[in-house]
Chains A and B, each alone.
Chain A
Amino acid sequence: MSDSVKDWLPGAAAQIEALGQTPLIAAINHSVWAFSVIQLGHLLSIAVLGGAVLVLNLRLLGLALPTVAPEEVERSTRPFMLASVAGTIVTGFLMTLATTQSSLTSTAFLIKMIALLAAIGLSVSVAWSVRRPAGHARQAAKVLGVLATLVWLVAAGLFASASNLGPGVLLVAVAGFALFAAFLPSRRRAYGIGISLILLAGFGSTFLLAPTAAGDVLTEQVSIGTVLIGLAFAALLWASEMRHGKPLAVPPGRIGALGSTLAWVTVAAAGRWIGFS
């Protein structure tokens, strides 16, 4: 059995397919322009969503707007976040209805839907924690964050194991390591040089040794290399913290910010790969 919405939820898939037969969707499919305008709306919503998610999360990671209180950043990005999530979902739903044949049978589409649930959950959890709630609300934000992270791990696992989606996972991995490196207190430079060397070595050796298989070999080398160097530095960091007799201290808000950013990058990458696969 392959992994797709049709395989996992045949009942829901049948209902979506029925919706795809309605006159409105038929009209969208009939006019090339209507579909392209919806796609452009989807892309512009993604741009606004990216801004709202990144500005808040980079603030929480201590990488942007250090003088503005996190609560203030959360409050001012919230309307854009809500509007752009609504925009991507409405346009995305219309695109799905217009392409049920390919979307409901696509593994990338299934991954995108799972990652979307995780991303929304993580963003809500981050927003709740930023507002510094007390008691039960604080616990609820934590529980939601943990659950959403588990859902994201399912999406990431499916993404990494799907045979033809490797390059998409690579983007998520690179985004993750870049963010991780950016908020490392030290060794940022060594981390950056390490990743650059891996990328350069991948490019160089690919074009010298196997120019005809350039795409495939490059992707494989870079993915493996990036994972290895990421693990190596994580281990190094952990070891050095241990040597000082302290556990790795990362504030909880930071983990949520990192997770939510990665979950949204996963949604975007899986979304792009629906079109490729």
Chain B
Amino acid sequence: MGQSISEFLAWIEFRLGAELDAAGRAIPYTSWSAQLQASERLWMVLEGTHVITIMLFAGTILFVDLRLLGLVWRKVPVSQVADNVLPITIGGFAIMAITGVLLFLAQPLEYFHSLIFRFKILFLLAAAINIFWFHYKVQRRRAEWDVQPLPPVSARLSASLSIALWVLVIATGRYAAYGWVSCDNIDGLAAQAAQCATYDATLAQYDAGAETPLMAAL
């Protein structure tokens, strides 16, 4: 499956929207993905928006978590804080997700095979699971502790996990952007975790101009 995803992302990065030469091969740097990567100002707007929206998204979710930890607004029911602040947090998340996906599409193959980016996705998934767990398990009995200054252990645990996981998402996001760790300079277990053999195979197919069945189908 890694191979299919890798080939699909390579198709997005090198072929989608690209101009073709007489032999039907993509002319380098003409795909939409390459244009996005090369379009300095559009890329800057996306990246700048992605980073600055951290203030809106992470900043507001932090205060909801602080209420669940009993550290702010102890006299205000948890439901009021959640109902009032979370819509803003979700708006922030939507902006982060849209700009994040577009930034990913500027270099999809490299991000997919970046070990640090894979950790970021893992932490994002963990944060999502934590949200679902909170929503469907912890919050089901919220009426019993809604007005308590200090919510129960399960709610505090979920809030602490939320803070820790979003810090990790921000940290891995920051380090993924440095590009220090890529398939060009890792081996062993790290290279296996990033599926670097698949990355090399996908690139080799493009360099040789060979079309795999998947690429032909697309």
Contacts and interface: CB of A to CB of B under 8 A. Distances in A.
B51 interface: yes
A49 B41 contact: no
B63 interface: yes
Interface string A196-217: 0000000000000001101110
Nearest to B171: A40
Contacts of A72: 73
Contacts of A168: 44, 48
Contacts of A191: none
Contacts of B186: none
SS of B interface (majority): helix
Interface in A170-222: 170-171, 211-212, 214-216, 218-219
A76 B178 contact: no
B85 interface: yes
A48 B66 CA distance: 12
A48 B43 CA distance: 25
A94 interface: no
B122 interface: no
Contacts, number: 126
Interface residues of A, number: 46
A50 interface: yes
A49 B80 contact: no
A65 interface: yes
Given A265-B52, A272-B51, A43 B170 contact: yes
B165 to A, nearest CB: 13
A65 B41 contact: no
Contacts of B171: 40, 44
Contacts of A269: 48, 52
A174 to B, nearest CB: 8
Given A167-B41, A273-B48, A76 B54 contact: no
Contacts of B63: 51, 55, 77
Interface string A24-39: 0000000010001001
B54 A47 contact: yes
Q: How large is the interface on B (under 10, 10 to 19, 20 to 34, 35 or more residues)?
A: 35 or more
A64 interface: yes
Contact of B85 (A36, A64, A215): A64
A234 interface: no
A15 interface: no
Interface of B: 35-36, 39-45, 47-49, 51-52, 54-56, 58-63, 72-73, 76, 80-81, 84-85, 88, 167, 170-171, 174-175, 178, 180
- Ranked nearest first, the 10 interchain pairs of A and B with the lowest CB-CB distance are A50-B55, A51-B59, A215-B39, A50-B59, A215-B42, A215-B41, A47-B58, A76-B72, A167-B45, A51-B62
Given A44-B171, A77-B63, A214-B35, 11 more contacts: A49-B55, A49-B59, A53-B59, A55-B63, A66-B84, A167-B44, A215-B41, A216-B39, A272-B47, A273-B44, A276-B44
